[in-house]
């Protein structure tokens, strides 16, 4: 019987595609095995368990997102950089809802440290170099930006903004204007 050629990497990649198709919460070992035409038990030589699979997926998505943000950020500064960062973040979430959901998993500290999570914080700090902010305000601003981006995207995806006719796109643009204005005159 021909082998399917499974590896942890291929499984993780397929899990990512699966997540975007059926939702992160529906990424199961069984569904993944089905996709490879293989029995469930076969996957356990490559991944420890279902949780391990989801963690690998989260790490993959964090790295992808960091890459996208990083390349959008290159050569920009100030409000330009802020907008590029925010839009890269949001477009990734829209194009890859399952992967994005994965990035919101609670990772244990060791895994988080090894993941691209640190790169995200570093890039946010890079955006802030275009504004006149120093510690501890810089950390506060990093947290505020991250919160706002994540909050907006996740509420948007949950449908929380559908109840009002005002365009979601327009509110987003205004939010970025507001954040830029806020960063330029950060209260002391």
Partner DNA sequence: CTAGGCTTCCTAGAGGTCCTAGGCAAATAA
Partner DNA sequence: TTATTTGCCTAGGACCTCTAGGAAGCCTAG
Q: Which residues bind a second copy (CB under 8 A)?
A: 25, 104-107, 109, 112-113, 117-118, 121, 135-137, 139-141, 143-144, 146-152, 154-155, 157-164, 166, 170-171, 174-175, 177-178, 181-182, 185-187
Give the whole-angstrom CA distance, residue 100 versus residue 79: 24
Dump strand ranges (E) for the chain.
none
Q: Which of 13, 17, 31, 154 binds DNA (CB under 7 A)?
A: 31
Angle subtended at Cα 172 by Cα 167 and Cα 174, rounded to the nearest 5 degrees: 100
Interface with DNA includes 126 (CB under 7 A)?
no
What count of residues does the chain have?
A: 188
Is 104 a binding residue for DNA by CB under 7 A? The answer is no
* Residue 44 contact among a second copy, DNA, none, beta carbon within 5 to 8 Å by kind: DNA
CB of 140 to a second copy, least distance (A): 4
Q: Does 163 bind DNA (CB under 7 A)?
A: no
Nearer to DNA, 22 or 168 (CB): 22
Q: Nearest Cα to 100, choosing from 157, 161, 168, 28?
A: 157
Q: Which does 4 bind (CB under 5 to 8 A by kind): DNA, a second copy, none?
A: DNA
- What DSSP character marks residue 66? H
Q: Are 52 and 107 in contact (CB under 8 A)?
A: no
Q: Is the Cα torsion angle 115, 116, 120, 122 positive or negative in sign?
A: positive
Under the rule (CB under 7 A), what is the footprint of DNA? 1-7, 28-31, 37-42, 44-46, 49-51
């Amino acid at each position: 019987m021909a082998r399917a050629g499974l590896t942890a990497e291929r499984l993780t990649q397929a899990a990512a595609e699966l997540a975007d198709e059926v939702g992160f919460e529906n990424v199961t070992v069984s569904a993944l095995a089905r996709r490879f035409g293989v029995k469930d038990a076969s996957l356990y030589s490559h991944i420890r368990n279902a949780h391990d699979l989801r963690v690998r997926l989260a790490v993959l998505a964090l790295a992808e997102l960091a890459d996208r943000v990083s390349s959008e950020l290159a050569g920009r500064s100030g409000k330009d950089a802020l907008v590029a960062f925010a839009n890269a973040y949001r477009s990734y979430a829209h194009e890859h809802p399952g992967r994005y959901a994965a990035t919101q998993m609670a990772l244990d500290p060791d895994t988080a440290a090894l993941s691209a999570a640190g790169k995200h914080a570093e890039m946010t700090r890079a955006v802030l170099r275009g504004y006149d902010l120093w510690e501890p305000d810089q950390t506060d601003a990093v947290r505020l930006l991250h919160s706002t981006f994540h909050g907006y995207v996740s509420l948007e995806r949950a449908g929380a903004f559908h109840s009002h006719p005002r365009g979601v796109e327009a509110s987003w643009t205004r939010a970025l204007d507001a954040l830029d204005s806020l960063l330029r005159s950060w209260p002391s």
